[in-house]
Amino acid sequence: MSMDETDWDEALSESGDAPEGGADRVLNQDEIDSLLGFDALDGDENERTGIRAIVNSALVSYERLPMLEIVFDRLVRLMTTSLRNFTSDNVEVSLDNISSIRFGDYLNSIPLPAILAVFRAPELDNFGLFTIESNLIYSIVDVLLGGRRGTAAMRIEGRPYTTIERSLVQRMIEVVMADMGQAFEPLSKVNFVLDRLETNPRFAAIARPANAAILVKLRVDMEDRGGRVELLLPYATLEPIRKLLLQQFMGEKFGRDSIWEGHLATELWQTQLQIDAVLDEQVMSLRDVMKFKVGQTLMLNAAPDSAISLKCGGIPLVKGHIGRVGPFVAVKVDKSFRRVPGAS
């Protein structure tokens, strides 16, 4: 006797042994979001979980480059001074956060309208990206053209940026890039040159969408006006100076101690060596050597005026002639051997 699937389901339900919710239980939206790692309340600072954490695990954390934070802290101090001189106003620059992001995700997250400045670093042979949001653009224009203090900059939507606005923002970007060069100077000399200004993110593609990059968010406040500047540097741009960015502090040396090098050099100059004066060399068989007796005379192929060689550890150093200085036997150096590089 056999039972079909319907009979089995009825029997299980009657016995109470069926799993809670049944085999075909559907996940609700909260469970799906938790599984995939998406949460509407999560910010950029929160940890990712689930499948999203696995996908983003390929991103390199900027914390593996300790010197970056020092460089950007230096950039903030330099920008505060230079922008105060540039705008003749009270400017405060602060560092919001430093994070790693994929280049494609960043392009899709740029709030428009904005001005994107593509710059290049000839020494690093690659590009970077500056993004100036709309609030800061109108604030800079308002400050440079004599707008009143204490009033928010007027924001006009639905039109492209004018030539005057682009020119004023370009001057500010050039000031910031000069500060970036000074910020990187203690590590390596790098010049940042403005390449072009764009308003469409599609025309500011300086890397592949899947490439990892470092995103630095800076806040510029001018009393009640201001906005945000975002600096994006692909990891390919920082690769030439990656070893310098791995330092824990400025001037750190890896596997090399200058103090020990100086001490070793001093001790080497004071080392005593044994030098042998070789009058003649002959090749003899072991049988003849074993026949040597006390008082036996060995004939050398050398005359009193023959040149002799001075050796240290079997390595010839100089050649000279033997003589006498008072009660001592001396050697007058005539010439030195020229060592061939790589020869033993």
Structure tokens at 103: 């280049």
238 versus 304: the higher-pLDDT residue is: 238
Structure tokens at 119: 């710059």
Comparing CA positions, the residue from 265, 225, 238 lying closest to residue 138 is 225
Q: Where are the domains of the chain?
A: 33-58, 65-245
152 versus 323: the higher-pLDDT residue is: 323
Average pLDDT of the residues in 138-150: 80
- Those residues with Cβ within 8 angstroms of residue 30's Cβ, 6 or more apart along the chain or in another chain: none
pLDDT bracket for residue 252 (50, 70, 90): low
Could you read off the pLDDT of 278-296 as tens digits, one per residue? 888 888 899 988 988 898 8
Could you read off the pLDDT of 16-63 as tens digits, one per residue? 444 455 556 777 777 777 766 565 444 444 455 556 666 555 555 555
Region 65-245: CATH code: 3.40.1550.10
Angle among Cα 32, 34, 36 to the nearest 5 degrees reads: 70
Structure tokens at 289: 């050597």
Distance separating alpha carbons of residues 218 and 179, to the nearest angstrom: 14
Structure tokens at 237: 């741009």
101 pairs with which residues across the strands? Answer: 213
Comparing CA positions, the residue from 94, 97, 129, 98 lying closest to residue 114 is 129
Q: Strand 307-312 relative to strand 315-325: parallel, antiparallel, unpaired?
A: antiparallel
pLDDT at residue number 153: 55
> Considering the entire predicted model, what is its pTM?
0.57
